[in-house]
Structure 1
Amino acid sequence: MISLLKKSIQHERPCLPGLVMTVLFLSLPNLVAVFWPRVDQHHVENFWLGVGILLAPCLFSVSVRTALRLWLPLAAFLPALMAYHFVTGEPVREWAFVVLGETDASELERFWAPAVLAVLAAPCAMAFLWWFTGRHVPAGHRLGWLARGVVMVCLVVMPLGQMVFGGWGLGGQVAVKRLATTFPANLPVSAWRAWEIHDDFAGRTAVAERMEVKSAPLGDREIYVLVLGESARFDSFQIHGYARETTPLLAKMSGLLSFQDVVAPAPVTSMSVPLLLTPANPEHLRAAASLPSVVSIFRRAGFHTAWYSTQRKHGMYDTASSVFARDAEESRFLSGTFAPGNARYASAYDGNLLQPLKELLATGHRRLFIVLHTMGSHQNYADRYPAEFNHFPAERQDIASRPFVRALTGEQREHLSNAYDNSIRYTDWFLAQVIETLKQANAVSMMLYVSDHGQNKGDAETLPFAHGNLTPEVMHIPMLVWLSPEYRAQRQEQTMQMESHVGTPFTGSAVFHTMVDAAALQCDALDLRLSAASPQFRPGPRLLRNLKGELVDYDTLPVVLNAGKSATLGISAGTNIHSVPR
């Protein structure tokens, strides 16, 4: 065996220096990701996967020089990919291609100089690859069995291990994401995903324009505000029985309804938000792309519509939300257009949404519908609130790039838990400010707050301080409704029905129907059986989608709790119900 190893090493020796240097040259986009803006273990694994992809032709007895020169066309993209990473801080993803199709010149202004340099450098990169392989890689050399084995490890074993040890559903998702961020696979994979996104959302405007919406305007001013939360866990709210004072302001709020048994329609933002905003249900998730949103329904009814967000317009987590934002007559993304690299979690504080809200209310529009899309409690938690909201002592603990979160020390877990509770306390302040602003408008007004999904606690068996799996902590979400005195007087039936359904189990898929019905709008997309503001409310089974794309019933899905006991993943209507003063 040792003799065979020596022979194999001697076989590769004449080719090895040129092979290594050429592969490193072609791997520059992956190397940049490893070191910029900081060393990231995920990108280290991506680098080795990229090596396997680049040398994959050698597995079929193609000579090394020919295999490397097959990538000559892609070498032209090397300068552009590196320039893109230095500007945004992350590899090219599908949303980069989406941006090219939907953005304007002002949003791409920061890319002009790097783009020009990349175009000029492209032929130089191709020429260098051709010259270098011709000079330093022996003609006709083919990899031996040992080198082919290394290529197989890089190409197959790593992604396969991710799926096995991460679970075939979630691990498979991660493996696909690896391909989407690893050169050269990220170019075709991202382009294909971008085409899917564009195809799904094509024609949405035409659908909305054909939608007939009937409304009966009141003599008074009407204002409806939908606040989309992020990663908020139901049982971290003081008003839901949590021991800590995380919602002291909401606890004192009059006219507030807290729905006790609402579950997210999906465990991730990109799947959940479309189901919150459209009449699509988890059985037909993809249909959400071609259906009118709650924004377009209110717009067709004659409301002035606005979308204000502290999430970024183009980012790795939620490209879809910005598409729904286009349904509004005006939109603002207060954290900027692009979500750069490992700084992607940095954002404007949610409190910054209050100023545009107040400015819009001061314009005098008689009928308003406003979406406030918050960053809420998204990782990193300590970035979500100002210093004065560090009520529970917490220092920033960056776990965004840690593959084994359970390796955190007890002190780190304490800081993360405290920071999460601080983010909930800041959400409490923000929602109280929104309500106070609506009170001052003296209008028929309503605020509905719902989180897209929850978040696992730090002691969770899987995905601690994260989401994506089907646990009560991720799926059980807060949903709050505040109704102004004027609304209660003018919309007595809707008020009575919402009050009577605070304990009814349902999913976030009912948000669209509840919001439309609460404003007394009528359209073909409205299903009164899914409106908590209707006496016909019959939400039925709580179906949702997991990351595998499978349709599951939340109330019958078995899980293993942290204590090791088997239980049913579901919360009965009578569990943890705490009345909120009205």
Structure 2
Amino acid sequence: MRTLLRPAPLFLLLTYLAVSAVPFVPMLLGKPLERPWQVLGVAFVGWLAAWAIFKRPAWFHWLLIPAFVALPAEVYLITYYGQGISTHHLGIIAETSPGEALDFLGSKVWLMLAVMAGIVVWWVASWGVARRTRELDWNDGSRPVVLIALAICVAVWAYGHKFGIAPATAKPGHTGWKLPPLAPWARLPFEFDAFAQSWPFGLVARGVDYYKERTYLAELSQRSANFHFGARQQEPDSEPEIVVLVIGESARADRWSLNGYGRDTNPRLSGHANVVNLPDVITAVSATRLSVPVIISRKPAMQSLKDGFAEKSFITAYKEAGFKTFWLSNQISFGKFDTPVSVFAKEANVIEFVNLGGFTDRSNYDEVLLRPFGNALADRAPKKLIVIHSMGSHWNYSHRYPKQFDQWQPSLFGVDQPAYTDITIKPQLNNSYDSSILYTDWFLAQLIDRLKGSQQRTSMLYVADHGQTLYDKSCKLAFHGHNTKYEFHVPAFVWYSDQYQAHYPGKVERLLRNRKAKLATENMFHTLLDLGGIHYPGERVEWSFVNPGFKQHKRYVDSYGWADYDNAVMKGDCREVIGREKPLKREN
């Protein structure tokens, strides 16, 4: 013990203790930590394994370089966003250029450099101590015993991973040649999430997840790798032109005052000239990863439940027609619900995912997109397509807007983690939701103001991916993933500049003529290309509502199969969509 209390070994042990304590930063901030004992256990076993395998710190200390380098980012994200480094953040780090990083950090860059310099000095100092000291070498006979015990634990874990774990009430047994599942009593007392949450060992799990997501993304991209539209602009000229698509999130049409809602949730958009509201637009599914591909590609609504698509999005068509393309997102890039969207985002020339908080309560407001949007507008390319993927009204609603937009009371503003399944907070939930729409109105007006200020030929289409159910009347449902009218009926509008109208008077005339047509998100791909005057072989001009050949088509929604939305009844206060005819079978 006296040996361990000497300055050199004590410094090294305190270094490893400090590194392992990173997951407990939330507790210093007064926040709870999930699975704290499991995280402690993982850290203990991890260090035990490292020492047992490598025998002395000098032989494993260099493996800690990634943990030291990433430590400032981990603490920063935990402190300000309530989560550590995720696959999304690893994607940002891997794909952000130094110039973009400097632009994003601004004046913070000097502080970050100073912190990183301190971390490097800390690692070098501890490395020097690890090389010189021999008091922490593991030389006695307990080391092979521990190695055998660890090998047994790994074997048990691998067995359970391969053959599963039997339910607590099931009797052990097996069928044919397959070995029986692991007995419940033999299950190791650690969850994979606790391992991923630990530090520094959790970095391995996060790296593996990132690799899996990249592989999955590559597989999805491979399906359309050789696809080309053969697109061109019908009447190309040298005049600058900008087309913008804004993908909204979790917005329902009947909460927009543009659609007749009693509260003035769209005071700024309603005051803008050339805003053409589209009051009757439906989405086929009420999930972002399924609905967005239908908006931006030719993926049919009734194939939206299938993973991947063999074609690229309208982004590639614009690139083929000579436009520089941008994807600016306040959502996240990797994950079970996000990678299917990212596969299309990767088609753009410039890609920026700016949300460091993911879908946590403390993620960035959508105004964070105004900086990269301004950069895109200032880009020297004469013709540009800009896609904005906003956070919109994603739960938690009260964390989607700053205090000055907390218009309706009582609200959930300032409540850290409200129980969204608690129907007693229905008034606060609805008030906060309406305030999030008010903020969206401000954000969209900011985009229009910047486009108008460019004095160029510009057009912008906004459409939400899906809506929300909000304990309406006696309805006991909330949020999305249901088959209600509130989730299928989404807000949408088109704005155009005076310069656009002067160049495309026919498109504006047809837009105004068809503004009250029965539309679906399937119309958006075709209309977005038509807005830029882009055509390609095999196009369906009848699905573009700015085209003279426009025709309304059947609108199907995912409700017990594919139900005809316009031949359905809206059941009960939840307004559940029930087709009058037998729904068509889903293709999963």
Band the TM-score falls in, shorter-chain normalisation: 0.5 to 0.7
Query: Which residue of 2 is the match for residue 252 of structure 1?
Result: 271
Residue number among 527, 544, 548 corresponding to 1:514 in the alignment: 527
Residue number among 309, 327, 344 corresponding to 2:360 in the alignment: 344
Query: Which residue of 1 is the match for residue 246 of structure 2?
Result: 227
Query: Which residue of 1 is the match for residue 158 of structure 2?
Result: none
Aligned AA (1:280)? K
Shift of 1:494: 1.5
Q: 5 Å matches for 1:128-147? A: 131=146
Aligned AA (1:293)? S
Query: Which residue of 2 is the match for residue 291 of structure 1?
Result: 311
Residue number among 338, 346, 350 corresponding to 1:326 in the alignment: 346
Deviates more, 1:93-102 or 1:492-501: 93-102
8 Å CA contact 1:94–1:194 kept in 2: the answer is no
Aligned AA (1:481)? V
Shift of 1:383: 1.7
Cα distance in structure 1, aligned partners of 2:268 and 2:287: 28
Aligned AA (1:295)? I
In the alignment, is residue 536 of structure 1 matched against residue 549 of structure 2? yes
Go from structure 1 to structure 2 and tell me whether the alpha carbon gap of 1:100 and 1:440 turns closer, same or farther (over 3 Å shift). closer
Query: Which residue of 1 is the match for residue 327 of structure 2?
Result: 307
Shift of 1:422: 1.2
In the alignment, is residue 461 of structure 1 matched against residue 475 of structure 2? yes
8 Å CA contact 1:472–1:569 kept in 2: the answer is no
TM-score by length of 2: 0.64
Cα distance in structure 1, aligned partners of 2:537 and 2:91: 31
Aligned AA (1:213)? R
Paired positions, count: 473
Cα distance in structure 1, aligned partners of 2:219 and 2:247: 25
Go from structure 1 to structure 2 and tell me whether the alpha carbon gap of 1:100 and 1:483 turns closer, same or farther (over 3 Å shift). closer
Residue number among 405, 412, 417 corresponding to 2:430 in the alignment: 417
Cα distance in structure 2, aligned partners of 1:189 and 1:544: 33
8 Å CA contact 2:406–2:435 kept in 1: the answer is yes
Query: Which residue of 2 is the match for residue 560 of structure 1?
Result: 571
Note the residue ranges of structure 2 that are not aligned, 5 or more in a row: 1-19, 39-63, 102-112, 124-129, 131-137, 153-164, 172-190, 197-204, 581-588
Aligned AA (1:245)? D
The root-mean-square deviation of aligned C-alpha atoms, in Å, is 5.3
Go from structure 1 to structure 2 and tell me whether the alpha carbon gap of 1:97 and 1:353 turns closer, same or farther (over 3 Å shift). closer
Query: Which residue of 2 is the match for residue 236 of structure 1?
Result: 255
Residue number among 368, 375, 382 corresponding to 1:366 in the alignment: 382
Query: Which residue of 1 is the match for residue 167 of structure 2?
Result: 152
Residue number among 392, 401, 404 corresponding to 1:388 in the alignment: 404
Go from structure 1 to structure 2 and tell me whether the alpha carbon gap of 1:154 and 1:345 turns closer, same or farther (over 3 Å shift). farther
8 Å CA contact 2:297–2:525 kept in 1: the answer is yes
Deviates more, 1:485-494 or 1:273-282: 485-494
TM-score by length of 1: 0.65
Deviations 1:392-450 (A, max 9, x none): 23343668684xx443434xx32222221111111111111222222222222111011
SS in structure 2 of the partner of residue 332 of structure 1: strand
Aligned AA (1:354)? L
Deviations 1:476-495 (A, max 9, x none): 00011012222222212211
Go from structure 1 to structure 2 and tell me whether the alpha carbon gap of 1:383 and 1:129 turns closer, same or farther (over 3 Å shift). farther
SS in structure 2 of the partner of residue 152 of structure 1: coil
Aligned AA (1:258)? N
SS in structure 1 of the partner of residue 328 of structure 2: strand
SS in structure 1 of the partner of residue 573 of structure 2: coil
Aligned AA (1:519)? G
Deviations 1:18-76 (A, max 9, x none): xxxxxxxxxx9xx99x9999669xx88xx9xxxxxxxxxxxxxxxxxxxxxxxxxxxxx
8 Å CA contact 1:397–1:416 kept in 2: the answer is no
Aligned AA (2:355)? S
Shift of 1:95: 6.8
Query: Which residue of 2 is the match for residue 213 of structure 1?
Result: 232
Deviates more, 1:513-522 or 1:83-92: 83-92
Cα distance in structure 1, aligned partners of 2:87 and 2:380: 40
8 Å CA contact 1:543–1:552 kept in 2: the answer is yes
Deviates more, 1:252-261 or 1:535-544: 535-544
Go from structure 1 to structure 2 and tell me whether the alpha carbon gap of 1:356 and 1:96 turns closer, same or farther (over 3 Å shift). closer
Shift of 1:521: 0.7
Shift of 1:511: 0.7
Query: Which residue of 1 is the match for residue 109 of structure 2?
Result: none
Query: Which residue of 1 is the match for residue 286 of structure 2?
Result: 267
Aligned AA (2:475)? E
Shift of 1:324: 2.3
